[in-house]
Amino acid sequence: MIKLLNGAHVLVTRPAHQAENLCRLIEGRGGVAIRFPTLAIAAFADTQAIQNRLAQLDSYQWLVFISANAVTMHSYYSDGDKIEKFKSVRIAAIGKATAQALALAGLQVDLVPDHGYNSEALLAMPQMQQMQGLRCLIVRGAGGREELATALRSRGATVDYLDVYRRIIPDSDSSPVSLLLAQDKLNVITATSGAAVQNLVIMLEEKYHRRLFVAPLVVVSDRIGQIAADLGFKRIAVTESPSDAAILETVTMCVTGGIAWPN
């Protein structure tokens, strides 16, 4: 029997264009999804610089897309001539969601981790071990993690970046969230990136932080959980995967008492 959320208020901090599926799942299980994007994705306006870099694809052996946003932020793959240029390079995706976005864009994915959805999972793949003399282009958002490039360089690769979007704090009305915190009615918070957690703290007035930090927080990786712990969150649950279904199950466990929190 499916355990219902019974009207629990669940905060969804994802960017607005990526939040609706999770919100629908929460509502379908009887919860109240509170849409409060703490992160927005903005494409870089200088598309010419992107085109200039992509014109050099023949000089790279690997093209690595670090997120679905890296695929969808620009239409640089949208016509047949451009797609032909991608056939000269092998394409790697950081995880299944990114691979799906590439497939929808008409680009063939040559490598996606068997298990996991981060830089470490991609680096563990056999195809990423012998990199001596190879050139890699990482397509990402500005200011992303450096672990992938650092590891590839240590294995002998030359690595360049192509930044195609930036993360910004949206102009979201925080008063509904503040009211729920003041009334002790915010039952669970969900966050799928470290920046989303950090921005949540910035966007709420400091007088609400004490209650914010004791609310159950569901995150999709140990790395994000550590960021949250460093900020002051006390009750952090990590999902088994970053999928919406896994987030929903962990949220349900938080609501129904399936998680033993530290005192």
CATH number at residue 217: 3.40.50.10090
pLDDT at 209: 97
Question: Is 64 inside any structural domain?
Answer: yes
Last residue within a domain, chosen from 167, 188, 213: 167
Inside any domain, residue 262: no
In the chain, pLDDT over 90 holds for what percent of residues? 68
What is the number of domains present in the chain?
2
Give yes or no: residues 145 and 69 share one domain: yes
Amino acid at 105: A
Task: Using pLDDT thresholds of 50, 70 and 90, give the confidence band for residue 260.
Answer: confident
Rounded Cα distance between 150 and 207, Å, is: 40
Helices vs. strands in the chain: H and E counts, helices first: 12, 10
Closest to 250 in 3D by CA, of 236, 230, 231: 236
Mention every residue, 6+ apart, whose C-beta is less than 8 A from residue 20. none
Whether residue 188 lies inside any domain: the answer is: yes
Stretch 234-244: mean pLDDT = 94
Task: Name the strand (E) or helix (H) holding 42.
Answer: strand 40-43
Same domain, 20 and 87: no
* Average pLDDT score over residue span 207-222: 96
Per-residue pLDDT at 18 exceeds 80: yes
The range of the structural domain enclosing residue 242 comes to 9-39+171-256
> Which band of pLDDT confidence, cut at 50, 70 and 90, is reported for residue 105?
confident
- Termini Cα distance of the chain: 30
Per the prediction, the chain carries an average pLDDT of 91
What three-state secondary structure class fits 30?
coil
Identify whether the C-beta of residue 217 lies closer than 8 Å to the C-beta of residue 247: no
* Interval 106-161: pLDDT, tens: 888 999 998 878 889 999 999 999 999 999 999 999 888 889 999 999 999 999 99
Q: What is the mean pLDDT of residues 221-225?
A: 93
19 and 112 in a single domain? The answer is no
Tell whether 206 is covered by a domain. yes
d(CA 103, CA 85): 16
Query: How confident is the model over 65-94, as pLDDT tens digits?
Result: 999 889 888 765 555 555 567 778 999 999
pTM: 0.84
pLDDT higher than threshold 80 for residue 39: yes
Q: d(Cα 217, Cα 225) in Å, to the nearest integer? A: 9
Which of 152, 167, 182 corresponds to the end of one domain? 167
Looking at 119, 145, 167, the residue that finishes a domain is 167
- At residue 137, the pLDDT reads 95
Give the whole-angstrom CA distance, residue 253 versus residue 263. Answer: 18
